[in-house]
Amino acid sequence: MDNSTNAHGLVQWHGTTIIGVKKGGKTVIAGDGQVSMGNTVMKPNARKVRRIGAGEQVIAGFAGATADAFTLFERLEKKLEQYRGQLLRAAVELAKDWRTDKYLRNLEALMIVADAEVMLVLTGNGDVLEPEGGVAAIGSGGNYALSAARALDPYEDDAEVIARRAMAVAAEVCVFTNDRVTVETI
């Protein structure tokens, strides 16, 4: 898969857009549904955003290789169980494993995860980043969605409206992003 870096210096994989917006006591993660292989759309309606953990109190979205992302979802769920739903602790422990484990180190994905308290970006470099200003985006259309969300933020109070509008902008500009959006809210 071709990759580049985003405004945060994180590696971006071409093939998706995920955005997280935390505002007004609500956190939203939204993602498009397009799965691409090269210049071919393989699937237009994939679910890259989902609820995880006991009681589904965590929402997560991924950009990158699908099988790798599912492995990370499973590992994060186990960490959430181990640390009794403490997302920050579970995320830090997953990031440690991801960076040091011989198998996990090769996984190509990025994740945005959130619960009612915190939103984080997780990377294979061992990074656990809390986004500045309550907005984070990953994937090939991530920079477009991030820019749109930051522009909308002062004028819109609803996190879901910001996320949906930012995803619409990304879908219009990024050929690897479509308008079939999945949204989860905490």
Write out the catalytic residue numbers: 16
Q: Smallest Cα–Cα separation from 28: which of 13, 49, 11? A: 49
According to DSSP, residue 7 is labeled T
167 is written with which tokens? 């995803």
- b/e sequence 143-152, b meaning 16+ C-beta within 10 Å: bbbbbbbbeb
Helices (H), the chain: 66-82, 87-100, 142-152, 159-173
Asked if 181 and 167 touch (Cβ cutoff 8 Å), the reply is yes
Q: Smallest Cα–Cα separation from 27: which of 112, 150, 102, 86? A: 112
What is the torsion angle, in degrees rounded to the nearest 10, for the CA atoms of residue 31, residue 60, residue 50 and residue 73? 120
